[in-house]
Amino acid sequence: MELTFNNVCTADCRGSCRIRTKVRRGRIVSIQGDPGDEYTLGSLCPKGYAHLQRVYAPDRITHPMKQLGKGTGNWVRISWEQALREIAGHLLDIRTKYNSFLPVCLNKYLGSMGVLSRSIDGFFNSIGYITLMTGSPCVATGVDALTLSFGAAKKPPPEDMLNARLILIWGGNPTWTTPHQMRFVFEAREQGATVVVIDPVLTATAARSDLYLQIKPGTDWLLARGIAKILAEENLVDQEFLNGSTENWTQCQASLEQLSLAAVASATDVPVEEIKKLAYLIGTTKPMTIWLGAGVQHTSMGGGGFRTIADLAAMTGNIGLPGGNIHYATFDPWEFAGAFASIKPPEGSKGIPGSQGQWGHRQVGTGRFGELAALEPPIEFLWVACHNPVARAPNANAVKKTLQSIRTVVVADLFLTATARYADYFLPVASNYEYEDIVVSYWHYGAAVNQKAIEPLGESKPDFEIMRRLALELNRLSPGSSTFPVEREAAQWLDLEMKLLYPKLGITHYQELIEQYRRIALPQVPWQDRVFLTPSGKYEFFVPPCSSFNPGTEDHGEYPFRLLPMRSFATLNSQYRNCNSLEELSGKSKVLVHPRTALLKGIEEGTKVKVYNQLGEIILPAGLSPSVPPDVVSVYLGCDARNDMELNELISLIDTDLGRLCSGAKGLAFNSTQVNLARV
Ligand SMILES: Nc1nc2c(c(=O)[nH]1)N[C@H]1C(S)=C(S)[C@@H](COP(=O)(O)OP(=O)(O)OC[C@H]3O[C@@H](n4cnc5c(=O)[nH]c(N)nc54)[C@H](O)[C@@H]3O)O[C@H]1N2
Ligand SMILES: Nc1nc2c(c(=O)[nH]1)N[C@H]1C(S)=C(S)[C@@H](COP(=O)(O)OP(=O)(O)OC[C@H]3O[C@@H](n4cnc5c(=O)[nH]c(N)nc54)[C@H](O)[C@@H]3O)O[C@H]1N2
Ligand SMILES: [Mo]
């Protein structure tokens, strides 16, 4: 007999795609997009179609393991009982030694967007005050920037793009990273909209645009100011919006007067004529919508970049109207009740004193493993879940070094990731097909229930079960050590967390979402009332500090090339590289080099090239391509399981200019690294 289940992709992605899963005799036999999904219309991306391969991947690990010597590869299979007993024992030893849990650290990210993954934070809240890696490797900078300008990060729903006459895609490659949204881009274009792409690399999205500006990396804020200068001087502004709904415009305008377009052109590598062309387009085409990708915010001036780009929308009055505004991300649909977040530690627990004298967790920005290693009291225990920092945090070698120095490292994952290789304990996590969960999209606000389609493979368990069992074990060894409400079932947690969202979804229980497509009701047009959530109540222009006025002239000495990592359509961050079927589609990893640079360096197509800097080196075959500028190299991370090269060994830990306000730590400038090249 064949059964069909409704699933949802739990990946950190804009799609949060609904899936129809067919199961025969307890085994998944097919995975398809759900035709009832109003965002995807039933199509999946290549990674989605590869889920079947991923769930049953031969390298998936489905039993707990212990490594005898970190990084040795000397793993032995152990039982859950042993794993949890030993891990709980380590936790209790730490408490005895330090009289606190501050030496215990959690580094978690969005490997699963499922609501139940919040149980991981819930468990650590239940034992005491720990060291928490906060912030976000992804959105910290962008969310802060939009919060400073608008008072909050809000966006229109996906289909509002159809109302735009001009679509500016700035530092994003949605053709590969957000494929479902492209139908709105193309449809708008068929109705006469102009599509502009601004990117240092001629991407698959740039190739489909009407106007492409190949910008020098990291200079976006200058280009935006150049455009702003023309708009102001040619009076291509919406005076009514400027007068009634904005703050700081006079200072901003004054600072533009001092700007020379020739200097902007030379810093950005965009000729004055092209800057003017884009400025006229922006000044004369309404409504204009701006798609802010992750590219700009991952540069050292990323926050200022986002703000100056958003200023173009404000100057032209493209805010608060259909077809206008900014498409980035909003966490407004994540109004979860906070059942896991509000779990309180046992009475008498001590942590770091807050401003009102209350205890709290010690916080370190995510990715900052060097800082982690220097803490007092030191970190003796690290739990990594839903995250692969050796592959995705900056300076991977520093991450590895810190992992080596921590007494007990636990990694909960489906695969033996680059990070897990430095763990003492590996705990096998069930895939989303193996337990019930809920995903709410931060892009299209669809809320979907992920049904349990099959039993967890082997001995694997959902994070929620792992945390619950660890709480039980702790309390068995030392009663009262964890306040985690272990008697509460997963379904009750889901119901609790979703309660506030029920009215916005028009339902009374989350299970109604299994058969129905529902979206959180958010305004169709953000900021329509022109009431902004800033201190002034108005849109606040960015006035750049004088000190940040002169970029583009830096001399990078030994490392003249900007390294820009490129996401493949067939991988998701560090995931899916092990799916062989995708390897055929996407090809293998390579470094893209401009033919002129290649000539200088004696590099030909396929030549093995060393890409290096002060942090390390990686060796990859070269792909010659005029799509990258001569002073940029782009590493394309394709699918090749046998290549265990980690690009982030070269990525410098560089703070962006923003991030602290909303996430507690500055953003990470993954796109500001310089390298050199040599033929091997
Ligand atoms: N297939 C696939 N889809 C994904 C992901 C994935 O790994 N694979 N990851 C998901 C995640 S976590 C995220 S955050 C999103 C991100 O998806 P996007 O928003 O599309 O962002 P990126 O792919 O990081 O980068 C987009 C572009 O920024 C450009 N860029 C780099 N530096 C600069 C600069 O200084 N200025 C400008 N203007 N452009 C620059 C790069 O060349 C690149 O083409 O995608 C999500 N979707
Ligand atoms: N050089 C460079 N580095 C970057 C970026 C860049 O553009 N360039 N982009 C940054 C961005 S935008 C992001 S979002 C981060 C992403 O960084 P990560 O969050 O580390 O991304 P992934 O590689 O997808 O790792 C997620 C891990 O979670 C595991 N996982 C999946 N589901 C579950 C689950 O249910 N439970 C548990 N316990 N584990 C699960 C997966 O197997 C995978 O190993 O990378 C950042 N790093
Ligand atoms: Mo991300």
In terms of DSSP H, where are the helices of 246-368? 249-257, 261-268, 272-284, 294-297, 302-315
Cβ of 417 less than 6 Å from ligand 2? yes
Q: Separation of 175 CA from ligand 1 center, angstroms?
A: 10
Q: Is the pLDDT of residue 645 over 90?
A: no
Banded pLDDT at 555 (limits 50, 70, 90): confident
What is the model's pLDDT at position 639?
Answer: 83
How does residue 640 score in pLDDT terms, banded at 50, 70 and 90?
Answer: confident
- CA 433 to ligand 3 centroid distance, Å: 23
Fill in the DSSP letter of residue 477: H
Query: Distance between the two ends of the chain, CA-based, in angstroms?
Result: 57
| Cβ of residue 329 lying under 6 Å from some atom of ligand 2 | no
Atom 16, ligand 1: which residue's CA is nearest? 294
Report which secondary-structure segment, H or E, holds 260: none
Q: What is the mean pLDDT of residues 593-597?
A: 98
Distance, CA 539 to ligand 1 centroid (Å)?
Answer: 27
Centre of ligand 3 from the C-alpha of residue 441, in Å: 14
Residues 128-161: pLDDT tens digits? 999 999 999 999 999 999 999 999 999 999 999 9
415 lines ligand 2 (CB under 6 A): yes
* Separation of CA 644 and ligand 2 centre (Å): 16
Pocket probe mutation, ligand 1, options 567, 579, 671, max atoms within 8 Å of Cβ: 567
The answer, yes or no, to whether any atom of ligand 2 lies below 6 A from the CB of 137, is yes
Is the beta carbon of 402 within 6 A of some atom in ligand 2? no
For the chain, give the percent of residues with pLDDT over 90: 93
Separation between Cα atoms, residue 437 and residue 415, nearest integer Å? 20
Mean pLDDT of 534-551: 81
Output the CA 111–ligand 2 centroid distance in Å. Answer: 5
Q: What is the pLDDT of residue 586?
A: 86
Closest CA to ligand 2's atom 36 = 386
Q: How far is the CA of 266 from the centre of ligand 1 (A)?
A: 25
Q: How confident is the model at residue 323, as a pLDDT?
A: 98
Q: What is the Å distance from ligand 3's center to 559 Cα?
A: 27
Which residue has a Cα nearest atom 32 of ligand 1? 295
Residue 274, number of CB atoms within 10 A of its CB = 18
Give the distance, in angstroms, between the CA of residue 39 and the centroid of all CA atoms in the same chain: 20
The predicted pLDDT at position 583 comes to 83
DSSP designation for 13: S
Ligand nearest to C-alpha 654 = 2
Q: What pLDDT sits at residue 644?
A: 64
Confidence class of residue 548 from pLDDT cuts 50, 70 and 90? low
Q: How far is the CA of 197 from the centre of ligand 3 (A)?
A: 20
Q: Say whether pLDDT at 518 is over 80.
A: yes
Residue nearest to atom 47 of ligand 1 (CA): 177
Nearest Cα residue to 197 out of 168, 219, 177: 168
DSSP per residue over 644-659, as a string?
---GGGS----B-S--
Tell me which residue has tokens 């602290």. Answer: 660
Q: Taking all residues of the chain, what is their mean pLDDT, rounded to a whole number? A: 96
Closest CA relative to residue 286, chosen from 214, 215, 231: 231
Give the residue-averaged pLDDT of 544-554.
59
CB of 654 within 6 A of ligand 2: the answer is no
Stretch 502-529: mean pLDDT: 95
Gap from CA of 257 to ligand 1 centroid (Å):
33
Tokens for 255? 């600072």
Beta-carbon-side half-sphere exposure of residue 284 (alpha carbons within 13 Å) = 9
- Write the residue with the smallest CA distance to atom 13 of ligand 2: 138
Q: Taking 90 as the threshold, does the pLDDT of residue 297 lie above it?
A: yes
Query: Over the stretch 458-492, which tens digit does the pLDDT of each residue have?
Result: 999 999 999 999 999 999 999 999 999 999 999 99
Q: Report the distance separating Cα 317 and Cα 323, nearest Å.
A: 12
Ligand nearest to the CA of 413: 2
| Largest Cα span, the chain | 74
User: What are the CA-CA distances from residue 603 to residues 564, 610, 616, 630 (Å)?
Assistant: 19, 11, 20, 13
Ligand 2 binding pocket includes 574 (Cβ within 6 Å): yes
Alpha-carbon distance 640 to 644, whole Å?
A: 8
**Span 259-288, average pLDDT:** 97
Question: What is the structure's pLDDT at 631?
Answer: 97
Asked if the model's pLDDT at residue 509 lies above 80, the reply is: yes
Atom 3, ligand 2: residue with shortest CA distance = 392
3-state secondary structure of 390: helix
Peptide bond into 179 cis (omega under 30): no
The residue whose CB lies within 8 Å of the most ligand 2 atoms, and thus the one to mutate among 201, 386, 421, 425, is: 386
Q: What was the pLDDT predicted at 183? A: 97
Give the C-alpha separation, 590 to 467, whole Å: 39
pLDDT band at 581 (very low <50, low <70, confident <90, very high): confident
Read off the pLDDT band of 584 (50, 70, 90): confident
Say whether pLDDT at 643 is over 80: no
pLDDT band with cut points at 50, 70 and 90 for residue 588:
confident
The alpha carbon of 76 and the centre of ligand 2 are apart by a number of angstroms equal to: 26
Q: What is the mean pLDDT of residues 59-75?
A: 97
Query: Which atom of ligand 2 is nearest to 419's Cα?
Result: 44
Does residue 112 have its Cβ closer than 6 Å to ligand 2?
yes
Could you tell me the two tokens for 464?
């929620």
Cβ–Cβ under 8 Å, residues 589 and 640 = yes
Residue 338's identity, in one-letter code, is G
For ligand 2, the distance from its centroid to the CA atom of residue 260, given in whole angstroms, is 41
Write down the pLDDT at residue 73: 96
User: Is the per-residue pLDDT at 642 higher than 70?
Assistant: no
Whole-number Å distance, alpha carbon 353 to ligand 2 midpoint, is 31
Q: Which two tokens stand for residue 252?
A: 């901003």
Best probe residue, ligand 2, of 59, 366, 387, 636 (max atoms within 8 Å of C-beta): 387
CB under 6 Å to ligand 1: residues? 12-13, 138, 170-174, 176-177, 198-201, 203, 215, 217-218, 220, 293-296, 299, 564, 567, 569, 571-573, 671
Does the pLDDT of residue 176 top 80, yes or no? yes
Q: Best substitution site from 14, 110, 185, 199 to test ligand 1's pocket, by max atoms within 8 Å of Cβ?
A: 199
Mean pLDDT of 186-198: 98
C-beta of 670 in contact with ligand 2 (< 6 A): yes
pLDDT band at 111 (very low <50, low <70, confident <90, very high): very high
CA angle 47-51-57, nearest 5°? 115
Task: Give the distance (Å) from ligand 2 centre to CA of residue 669.
Answer: 16
Q: How much is the pLDDT for 551?
A: 52
In this prediction, residue 15 carries a pLDDT of 97
C-beta 463 within 6 A of ligand 2: yes
